[in-house]
């Protein structure tokens, strides 16, 4: 009878004692835990003059909200922005990396970056990690060839779409898009639709919440509307502020300095170097 | 009850007979059902597809049936279990009619009966693999409720099962109002069914809408929705991104 649950071989190394038991469990039907779709709603849509990206601002750590107002729309180039869903570290690292690669490329070619460049760089990186870099991205921007919107999945496949949603709130946002998207939307209509889709994710998906961030990219211009909408403000704040009942009377106010203030005047020579 | 038999080479085998008496997986399934209360009663919509795994095997399954004079039952999930439930309810209504006292089961009573049936089956680890939607009007009172396969039951102003939970609920939460007229209600349901048609792989473009009012219960003839596929971006998605897909 063994003392510990798992016997370590006398000369060190791996112990394969549990492999038979794991095999038996999978045969009996136990499924290994699958990937969690992480809490986010990110969307993008193409309108008449360019691209509008939207995202919620909640970062979750399991069931806890770790950051109530994080930024999910990442800068890639002056004319390209990327929303990221999935593991926050992965989306940050991958977008930062490709953003610097794009800048170096801009210096070398003396031209504005194209969205397909960013797309190919991201796609190659994610595919080579076979899905272990858990970053699901909505990449959008306007370059010399026009407005583009792409989705990139953690395993490296991409889609080119007129409207796209990703993250756990993607179905709620997609239902709004499928019901209301039209071609040739104006800027205000587009912003309204994106805000509606993100709100649908915020209120109907538990993994998304807090505020709506929007980024509008047009030819030669981009507008990052941070916290464009705040549909979840703190409501129960007393307008009067705090006031304590007057229980103690002030009898005497005297200020006693604890340390003597000493004035230092420049005397003597400077320190030797 | 399960037994284990030791065979010579040492592997254990569950008694096959005992397992085949419990529902382990669904086989022929129906997809979502969406329902709303409106001004004059309750409206319910569902498509007519029955999928056998990833094949669309049956395209003429009526997943909404009238129960008695006042209620309508819609089901998603295993079709054979739905037919079993209809048999149970048939027996119920028959027994009721035999009393011949002018009383009839209303939607609230049928909902309660179904909740008990589903929960008791779940407790025996032999569930009826359905999510049921029960709607009806009796004595001017509108009723709309839902029971899941584990016995979770509740009533609400609008319900959706299956994929409808994710795709139709946000739309209904945004756009449902107490005083919807018949046409507006149908339009709202069609909006939800259209999104489901676009985004649920087991949905088909052949649906029925059922109306429950004080006068009675009617199920419409099957019809199909208009869909739009002519977005310019769909016709040539990789223009400007040569080599991408």
Q: Which residues pair with A227 in a beta bridge?
A: none
Residue whose C-alpha is closest to residue A178's, from B190, B38, B204: B190
Q: How confident is the model at residue A239 (pLDDT cuts 50, 70, 90)?
A: confident
Residue A32 pLDDT: 62
**A131-135 long-range contacts, Cβ below 8 Å, gap at least 24?**
A131/A155, A131/A156, A133/A90, A133/A94, A134/A35, A134/A38, A134/A86, A134/A87, A134/A90, A135/A84, A135/A85, A135/A86, A135/A87, A135/A90, A135/A91, A135/A94
Residue A36 pLDDT: 43
Q: What are phi and psi of B195, to 5 degrees?
A: -60, -40
> Considering B2, B11, B23, B218, which one is annotated as catalytic?
B23
Report the distance separating Cα A130 and Cα B91, nearest Å. Answer: 56
Give per-residue pLDDT as tens, B71-119: 999 999 999 999 999 999 999 999 988 998 888 889 999 999 999 999 9
Chain B interface, best mutation among A170, A175, A183, A196, by max B CB count within 10 A? A175
Residue B220 pLDDT: 94
Facing residue for A171 by CB, picked from B167, B192, B244: B167
B45 neighbors B57 (Cβ within 8 angstroms): no
Minimum distance, in Å, between the CA of residue B46 and any CA atom of chain A: 17
B169 at A interface, C-beta within 8 A: yes
B chain contacts of residue A184, beta-carbon cutoff 8 Å:
none
Residue B245 pLDDT: 62
The DSSP annotation for chain B comes to ---EEE-TTS-EEE-HHHHTTS--S--EEE--EEEEEETTEEEEEEE--EEETTEEEES----EEEETTTEEEEEEEEHHHHHHHHHHHHHHHHHHHHH-SS----HHHHHHHHHHHHHHHHHTT----EEEEEEEEETTEEEEEEE-TT--EEE-SEEE-TTHHHHHHHHHHHH--TT--HHHHHHHHHHHHHHHHHH-TT--S-EEEEEEETTEEEEPPPB--------HHHHSTTTTSTT--
A chain contacts of residue B197, beta-carbon cutoff 8 Å:
none
Beta A50-56 vs B41-47: how paired, if at all?
unpaired
Q: Is B170–A158 a contact, with Cβ atoms under 8 angstroms apart?
A: no
Q: Is B166–A178 a contact, with Cβ atoms under 8 angstroms apart?
A: no
Minimum distance, in Å, between the CA of residue B133 and any CA atom of chain A: 21
Minimum distance, in Å, between the CA of residue B102 and any CA atom of chain A: 44
Q: Looking at the predicted structure, is the pLDDT value of residue A192 above 80?
A: yes
Residue A37 pLDDT: 47
B158 neighbors B38 (Cβ within 8 angstroms): no
Question: Encoding tokens for residue B93?
Answer: 């209504």
Report the distance separating Cα B147 and Cα B153, nearest Å. Answer: 4
Chain A interface, best mutation among B168, B170, B176, B231, by max A CB count within 10 A? B170
Q: Is B171–A145 a contact, with Cβ atoms under 8 angstroms apart?
A: no
Report the range of poorest mean pLDDT among A174-183, A256-265, B132-141, B164-173.
A256-265
Facing residue for B231 by CB, picked from A146, A162, A204: A162
Residue A235 is a catalytic residue: no
**A249 by DSSP, 3-state: which?**
coil
Q: Is A150–B198 a contact, with Cβ atoms under 8 angstroms apart?
A: no
Q: Comparing A63 with A51, which gets the higher pLDDT?
A: A51
Residue B102 pLDDT: 84
Q: What is the mean pLDDT of residues A92-113?
A: 96
Q: Looking at the predicted structure, is the pLDDT value of residue B243 above 70?
A: no
Q: Is A203–B170 a contact, with Cβ atoms under 8 angstroms apart?
A: yes
Please tell me the total number of residues recorded for chain A in this structure: 273
Mean pLDDT computed over every residue of chain B? 89
Return the number of other C-beta atoms located less than 10 Å from residue B116's C-beta.
Answer: 13
Residue B8 pLDDT: 46
B chain contacts of residue A203, beta-carbon cutoff 8 Å:
170, 173
Give per-residue pLDDT as tens, A210-229: 999 999 999 989 999 999 99
Q: Comparing A56 with A259, which gets the higher pLDDT?
A: A56
Q: Looking at the predicted structure, is the pLDDT value of residue A26 above 70?
A: yes
DSSP A145: T
Mean pLDDT computed over every residue of chain A? 87
Q: What are phi and psi of A236, to 5 degrees?
A: -95, 60
Q: How far is CA B192 from CA B52, B136, B189, in A?
A: 24, 21, 5
Minimum distance, in Å, between the CA of residue B15 and any CA atom of chain A: 14
Residue A5 pLDDT: 54
pTM, to two decimals: 0.77
A136 at B interface, C-beta within 8 A: no
Report the distance separating Cα A262 and Cα A265, nearest Å. Answer: 10
């Amino acid at each position: 009878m063994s003392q510990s649950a798992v016997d370590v071989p006398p000369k060190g190394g791996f112990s394969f004692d549990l492999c038979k038991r794991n095999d038996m469990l999978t045969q009996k039907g136990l499924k290994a835990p699958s990937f969690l779709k992480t809490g986010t709603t990110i969307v993008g849509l193409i309108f008449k003059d360019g691209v509008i990206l939207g995202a919620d601002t909640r970062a979750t750590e399991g069931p806890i909200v770790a950051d109530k107002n994080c930024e999910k729309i990442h800068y890639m180039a002056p004319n390209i922005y990327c929303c990221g869903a999935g593991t926050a570290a992965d989306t940050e690292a991958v977008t930062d990396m490709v953003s610097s690669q794009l800048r170096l490329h801009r210096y070398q070619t003396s031209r504005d970056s194209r969205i397909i460049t960013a797309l190919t760089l991201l796609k190659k990186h994610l595919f080579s990690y076979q899905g272990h870099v858990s970053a699901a991205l909505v990449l959008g921007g306007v370059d010399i060839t026009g407005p583009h919107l792409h989705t990139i999945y953690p395993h490296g496949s991409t889609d080119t779409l007129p409207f796209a949603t990703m993250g756990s709130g993607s179905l709620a946002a997609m239902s709004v898009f499928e019901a209301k998207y039209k071609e040739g939307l104006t800027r205000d209509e587009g912003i309204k639709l994106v805000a509606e889709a993100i709100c649908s994710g915020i209120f109907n998906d538990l993994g998304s919440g807090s505020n709506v961030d929007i980024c509008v990219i047009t030819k030669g211009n981009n507008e990052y509307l941070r916290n464009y909408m705040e549909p979840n403000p703190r409501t129960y704040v007393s307008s009067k502020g705090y006031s304590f009942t007057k229980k103690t009377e002030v009898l005497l106010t005297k200020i006693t300095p604890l340390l003597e203030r000493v004035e230092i005047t420049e005397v003597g020579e400077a320190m030797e170097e | 009850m399960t037994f284990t038999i030791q065979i010579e080479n040492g592997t254990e085998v569950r008694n096959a007979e005992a397992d085949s008496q419990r529902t382990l997986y669904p086989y022929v399934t129906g997809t979502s059902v969406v329902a709303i209360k409106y001004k004059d009663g309750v409206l319910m919509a569902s498509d007519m597809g029955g999928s056998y795994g990833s094949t669309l095997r049956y395209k003429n399954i009526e997943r909404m049936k009238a129960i008695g004079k006042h209620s309508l039952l819609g089901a998603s999930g295993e079709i054979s279990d739905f037919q079993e439930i209809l048999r149970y309810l048939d027996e119920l209504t028959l027994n009721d009619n035999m009393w011949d006292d002018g009383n009839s089961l209303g939607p609230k009573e049928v909902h309660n009966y179904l909740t008990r049936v589903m929960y008791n089956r779940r407790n025996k680890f032999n569930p009826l693999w359905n999510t049921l939607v029960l709607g009806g009007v009796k004595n001017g009172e509108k009723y709309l409720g839902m029971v899941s396969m584990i016995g979770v039951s509740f009533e609400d102003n609008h319900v959706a099962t299956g994929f409808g939970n994710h795709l139709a609920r946000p739309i209904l939460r945004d756009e449902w109002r107490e005083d919807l007229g018949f046409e507006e209600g149908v339009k709202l349901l069609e909006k939800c069914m259209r999104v489901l048609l676009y985004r649920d792989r087991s949905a088909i473009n052949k649906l029925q809408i059922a109306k429950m009012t004080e006068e009675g219960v009617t199920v419409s003839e099957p019809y199909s929705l208009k869909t739009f596929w002519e977005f310019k971006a769909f016709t040539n998605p990789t223009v400007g991104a040569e080599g991408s897909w």
